[in-house]
Amino acid sequence: QKEVEQNSGPLSVPEGAIASLNCTYSDRGSQSFFWYRQYSGKSPELIMSIYSNGDKEDGRFTAQLNKASQYVSLLIRDSQPSDSATYLCAVTTSPRLGSARQLTFGSGTQLTVLP
């Protein structure tokens, strides 16, 4: 079973702090990694993608990937109340031998940024 695991939270941080979200995955063949943000009652929206080991920064967001440890994380600097949402980690996996790669989601981490 190809799995993606996240701490479900909830995670609470004060406004202006750094929020750290973590994700581990089991499929060593995974090549693409994504972080989605989902507000309550809304569809997921892509905020970061990362394909190579190391860090990738985009504004207040930094994604970190370590394929050897099968670990991907998301840092949110200067957290704002508007960042309060559920963050979903997604990883490309092959559900069955010979099938096309699909996007497997973790169960999400609920983040609350306190004013």
Partner 1 sequence: NAGVTQTPKFRILKIGQSMTLQCTQDMNHNYMYWYRQDPGMGLKLIYYSVGAGITDKGEVPNGYNVSRSTTEDFPLRLELAAPSQTSVYFCASRAGRRSGNTIYFGEGSWLTVV
Cα–Cα–Cα angle for 64, 65, 66, nearest 5°?
130
CA distance 83 to 88: 13
| Binding string, residues 53-92; x marks residues near partner 1 by CB under 8 A | -----------------------------------x---x
| Given 16, 18, 46, 66, the residue binding partner 1 (CB under 8 A) | 46
- The letter for the amino acid at 63 is A
Can residue 105 be called a binding residue for partner 1 (CB under 8 A)? yes
> Which residues of this protein are in contact with partner 1, per CB under 8 A?
4, 6, 8, 32, 34, 42-46, 49, 88, 92, 95, 99-100, 102-108
